[in-house]
Amino acid sequence: MNIVILAGGSGTRFWPLSRKKTPKQLMSVFGGKSMLQRTVERVLPLKPERIFVVTNALQAAETERQLTDFDSDAIYVVEEPLARNTAPAIGLAAAIIERQDPTSVMVVLPADHFIRDEEEFRAALLRAEAAAVDWNLVTLGIVPTGPETGYGYIEADLFEGTQAALPVKRFVEKPPRQKAIEFVAAGNFFWNSGMFVWRTDVILDRIRTLMPELWAGLSVLDVPNCLSRLHSMNEQVTDLYGRIESQSIDYGVMEKAEGVVVLPSSFGWSDVGSWSALPELLPGDEAENVAVDASRIVSLDSGNCLVRGNDKLVALLGVHDLIVVDSGDALLVCPRERAQDVKKIVDELERQGLTEYL
């Protein structure tokens, strides 16, 4: 088994703490180790042959630094020159793995997700590995706990396949609330976790047939035999990324390929997509005010607020459902229901040329 961890995201919804050089996956959102480090720790008990962390040039140095905490000579950083979404990142990792072991199973994981039951998570990956051996493209679908509108959904065929893996009928973008309620009631819709398991040669074959432009670039890469020399590919990869389009693996492959199956899973998952996700994952006080860091909260007639005070005392008076985040050089205050719109602040900062806050 080879593990590929996608760690090149920008995490704009976690501004002002998340910045271009230190995005969400490199942050200590829950205290202690970063989300990337927690993702690596989570898979080490599976004893993978190799772990590849795909990141971008701006974040590569900090990614390398964080990975030195692990006593392993089988963790490698794959550097992308610029963001091109998940399909090129996965294709690049697959091309590297193919040089080592073309028929090996490849597990693709985001670097910035929360998993509560890590033992069950690893068990799910082993079930997915078994399903992937038979030329399937396996995606982990999370059994929904409610009508969440912030996730995409996967519709499965409950009357075909095996108990472990079900054929995928379609992928659905983030739905409005009424449609999400219908999906949950139907019983055959699962949250799209963005986690995949497949054989390396199978995903490359699907890229060849469904994304021929990407395949043409990947097929001529000169991958070094010694993985410690992956940096020697930087010029080739820069040339490739300058010629290909940005595309997700969902749209480029999964929505069009044959043999796509979903493995229904329940292990306490969250994609931690914005500040508003944290109150469900962290303990709060009697008024359900949650401190992300060590800040002390004094609350009068206030409740349901999320606070990161940068270790300051934070006093809440007569306010409800707020997000208050102090990063030292910037302060965010917004309603919790607008948490998904924090990325608009990042866009506005860029428009105004305030790059020191990005």
Residue with tokens 């300058």: 242
Share of the chain above pLDDT 70, in %: 99
Is the confidence at residue 185, as pLDDT, over 60? Answer: yes
Measured distance CA(78)–CA(227) in Å, rounded: 10
The mean pLDDT value for 44-70 works out to: 93
State residue 162's pLDDT score.
Answer: 56
State residue 70's pLDDT score.
Answer: 87
How high is the mean pLDDT of the chain?
92
Is the confidence at residue 30, as pLDDT, over 80? Answer: no
pLDDT digits (tens, 9 = 90+) for 289-327: 999 888 899 999 999 999 999 889 999 999 999 999 999
The predicted model scores a pTM of: 0.92
The mean pLDDT value for 43-72 works out to: 92
With cut-offs at 50, 70 and 90, classify the pLDDT of residue 329: very high
Residue with tokens 């139907």: 186
Domain boundaries along the sequence of the chain: 2-270, 275-357
**By mean pLDDT, which of 1-10, 88-97, 105-114, 153-162 is the weakest?**
153-162
With cut-offs at 50, 70 and 90, classify the pLDDT of residue 27: confident
**By mean pLDDT, which of 28-42, 244-258, 299-313 is the weakest?**
28-42
The mean pLDDT value for 51-62 works out to: 93
How is residue 281 written in tokens?
């994952």
Task: Tell me which residue of 45, 5, 14, 24 sits closest to 274, measured CA to CA.
Answer: 14
In sequence order, which residues have a C-beta less than 8 Å from that of residue 229 and are 6 or more positions away?
Answer: none
Measured distance CA(298)–CA(307) in Å, rounded: 11
With cut-offs at 50, 70 and 90, classify the pLDDT of residue 24: confident
The mean pLDDT value for 219-224 works out to: 94
pLDDT digits (tens, 9 = 90+) for 152-182: 999 999 877 556 789 999 999 999 999 999 9
The mean pLDDT value for 22-33 works out to: 83
State residue 161's pLDDT score.
Answer: 55
State residue 159's pLDDT score.
Answer: 78
Contact yes or no for 153/192 (Cβ under 8 A): yes
Is the confidence at residue 196, as pLDDT, over 70? Answer: yes
**Domain 2-270 is classified in which CATH homologous superfamily?**
Spore Coat Polysaccharide Biosynthesis Protein SpsA; Chain A (3.90.550.10)
With cut-offs at 50, 70 and 90, classify the pLDDT of residue 72: confident
Share of the chain above pLDDT 90, in %: 79
Is the confidence at residue 46, as pLDDT, over 80? Answer: yes
State residue 163's pLDDT score.
Answer: 60
The mean pLDDT value for 53-66 works out to: 93
